[in-house]
Amino acid sequence: MSKAIVATASLAGCFGCHMSLLDIDERILKLIELVEFNKSPIDDIKEFTKQCDVGIIEGGCCNSENVENLIKFRKNCKILISCGECAIMGGLPALRNFIPVSECLEEAYLGGPTTGLCNPDKIIPNDEELPMLLDKVYPCHEIVKIDYFLPGCPPRADLLWDALVALLTGGEMKLPYEVFKFD
């Protein structure tokens, strides 16, 4: 039996969803029996080396590099999963969506409490090698087609495990009420 190929990436996020994936604990050994990771921080493969069966994306798109990476993921993954609130709705990074980008940059580089120490020349970085900031943080489904959404901040380890096993074994993916309950 050949293993499914899985790729993962974090865009504008905190890597909490990847940490949740690692929190499946000893089941990671069972997962390794089912999958081979390709282009993932889990195995430190930086570029796609083959077509993948499943891609897991965490984080939204806040700059041009995020968009390029997401489009590349969509092209290289048969199934693409938005994992976590940042990928699904923009999450905490999207709090900047109500503030013009110029004001965000000015606050970060000119008006912050430590900018006098760290940036005495009051320079806002503007190099063509830096990814261009987008007008807002976009959830992944506004950029490419997403096949599944796993909610949470981060999604529970059990949810990630159950979803991956269901996808890889042809089972039914279930999102129990507890996934959406916030108390």
3-state secondary structure the chain: CCCEEEEEEECECCCHHHHHHHCCCCHHHHHHHHEEECCECCCCECCCCCCEEEEEEECEEEEHHHHHHHHHHHHHEEEEEEECHHHHHCCHHHHHHHCCHHHHHHHHHHHCCCHHHHCCCCCCCCCCCCCCEEEEEECHHHCCCCCEEECCCCCCHHHHHHHHHHHHHCCCCCCCHHHHCCC
pLDDT in tens, 67-120: 999 999 999 999 999 999 999 999 999 999 999 999 999 988 998 888 878 888
pLDDT grade for 16, boundaries at 50, 70 and 90: very high
pLDDT in tens, 115-152: 878 888 889 998 999 999 999 999 999 999 999 999 99
Fold of 4-97+136-180: Rossmann fold (3.40.50)
pLDDT at 118: 84
Mean pLDDT of the chain: 91
Read off the pTM: 0.89
